[in-house]
Amino acid sequence: MLFRTISTACLLLSLGLVAPACDDKKPDAKTDAKGKTDEKKVDEKKVDVKVEEKKAEAKVDEAKVDEAKADEAKVDEAKVDEAKVDEAKVDEKKVDEKKAVDPKADPKKPAVVEPKVDPGAAIDAKGLFEKKCKTCHNSNGDGKTKIGEENDIADWTEAGWKAKWTQAKVEDILNNGKATTKMKSFKDKLTPDELVAVAKYARTLGK
């Protein structure tokens, strides 16, 4: 009986109908494919995570750029405000200066410009001419005096003299004298305003 049982077992083993207890199980093809699929999904998830991380980093960088632009805008606004303050201070200073001159002056109204006063208007040019110039040039400027005839002084009453002797030229002679003549400088005897006034008066005598 025992011998028969052993023989039967050997036969079954030879035919491969009974798997040995000590043999390792061979990997199932379906199980292996599923494992690879799972690994692939894990890799895809890792890739998705990296993509999301990069997107998050990009958003952070954009946020930093936006913050930098906002800071620049604030700086520009601050500069504009400072410029407005400076302009306001200048306007206030102008108003204060106007009030110092005229406390009742309205800053909204344009300042009245006073006409310039000719400093020679208050000078007695005729009196100075009679005192300083008459001896040589005569009261009417014709040069018909003893000194005028001796020195051949020009007759201002002749036509064309006024056009020839400009205001600037007469002033220059009064200031510096006239070379080769006895006409000397009067800048030490008359003030600058008096010299101008006498020059103007002298030209009124000419033609």
Q: Alpha-carbon distance 27 to 23, whole Å?
A: 12
pLDDT attached to residue 122: 85
Q: Alpha-carbon distance 196 to 175, whole Å?
A: 10
pTM (2 d.p.)? 0.44
In tens, the pLDDT along 3-62 reads 566 666 656 566 654 444 444 455 555 556 666 666 667 666 666 666 676 776 767 567
Q: Alpha-carbon distance 180 to 173, whole Å?
A: 12
Mean pLDDT score, 177-181: 90
Q: Alpha-carbon distance 169 to 174, whole Å?
A: 9
Mean pLDDT score, 149-168: 91
pLDDT attached to residue 91: 65
pLDDT attached to residue 55: 72
Mean pLDDT score, 179-185: 90
Query: What SS3 string covers the chain?
Result: CHHHHHHHHHHHHHHCCCCCCCCCCCCCHHHHHHHHHHHHHHHHHHHHHHHHHHHHHHHHHHHHHHHHHHHHHHHHHHHHHHHHHHHHHHHHHHHHHHHHHCCCCCCCCCCCCCCCCCHHHHCCHHHHHHHHCHHHHCCCCCCCCHHHHHCCCCCCCCCCHHHHCCHHHHHHHHHHCCCCCCCCCCCCCCCHHHHHHHHHHHHHHCC
Bigger pLDDT: 4 or 101?
Answer: 4
CA distances from 98 to 44, 103, 112, 113, 117 (A): 81, 7, 11, 12, 21
Mean pLDDT score, 100-121: 58
CATH topology of domain 119-205: Cytochrome Bc1 Complex; Chain D, domain 2 (1.10.760)
Q: What is the mean pLDDT of the chain?
A: 74
Lowest-confidence region among 38-47, 117-126, 185-194: 38-47
The one-letter code for the residue type at 30 is K
Lowest-confidence region among 91-95, 102-106, 151-155: 102-106
Q: Give the residue carrying structure tokens 């006063």.
A: 117
Does residue 129 have a pLDDT over 90? Answer: yes
Tokens (6 digits) for 30: 């379906």
Output the CA torsion 20→26→29→33 (10° steps): 150
Q: Using N-to-C axis directions, what is the helix angle for 192-205 and 167-176, rounded to 10°? A: 130
CA 155 to chain CA mean position, Å: 60
pLDDT attached to residue 134: 92
Mean pLDDT score, 65-90: 65
Bigger pLDDT: 173 or 58?
Answer: 173
pLDDT attached to residue 64: 72
Mean pLDDT score, 82-94: 65
Mean pLDDT score, 100-115: 58
Does residue 79 have a pLDDT over 80? Answer: no
Mean pLDDT score, 147-171: 91
